[in-house]
Copies of this chain bind each other. A is one copy, B any other.
């Protein structure tokens, strides 16, 4: 006998649409919320309902932001000659958390994927090239993923940037920090050998 009440079933269905959440997890979450005071579900509902209203894309870097330009593009302390290109705002959050990057960002909102009909026009590529054409940018660090579409996107962007006379760089590929060599795959190891770095302190 199907005994899930319709309102609960609707919530389970909606939660199951989220990535990484199957029917079992969705049921667990929905029943958890039902056991909590109604205010918890209502608060979450308000946060969700207000999400797209509050957040827009920064006109310069296209990250998610409540202000336009975003806090980083508006920060006079950032190095405006260096721009880091990432696939998604989440990647920018990861890089920013390292504290190792002091330049600006540019969010592509995806990677090239001709099989899915995603070409440069579907990404923020034109906007990137327009940004570097004003001559302020010296270097673009392409931080797309080290996956096949990520590498293809990087290669495409590097070509376009070099035609504009801008240096394109790529995140270093090699052994993860703290990783035992015997757990490294052979492709990464080969790449780490080819890209070996001098042990003299970097300038």
Where the two chains meet, the residues of A that have a C-beta atom closer than 8 Å to any C-beta of B are 1, 3-8, 10-11, 14-15, 17-21, 25, 27-35, 38, 40-55, 63-66, 70-72, 75, 88-90, 92-93, 96, 109
Contact = CB atoms under 8 A, between A and B. Distances in A.
28 contacts: A1-B72, A3-B70, A5-B54, A6-B54, A7-B47, A7-B51, A7-B53, A7-B54, A7-B55, A8-B55, A11-B48, A11-B51, A14-B43, A14-B44, A18-B29, A19-B28, A19-B29, A19-B32, A30-B51, A31-B89, A34-B51, A34-B55, A34-B89, A35-B109, A41-B49, A44-B48, A48-B48, A49-B49
Q: Interface on chain A toward B: helix, strand, loop, or mixed SS?
A: helix
B3 A66 contact: no
A157 B53 CA distance: 52
B90 A28 contact: yes
Contacts of A45: 44-46, 48-49
Q: How many copies does the complex hold?
A: 2
A91 to B, nearest CB: 10
A1 B75 contact: yes
Given A51-B34, A52-B38, A66 B5 contact: yes
Given A8-B64, A31-B90, A49-B42, A96 B19 contact: no
Nearest to A65: B5
A50 B92 contact: no
A4 B42 CA distance: 22
B71 A52 contact: no
Nearest to A78: B1
A31 to B, nearest CB: 5
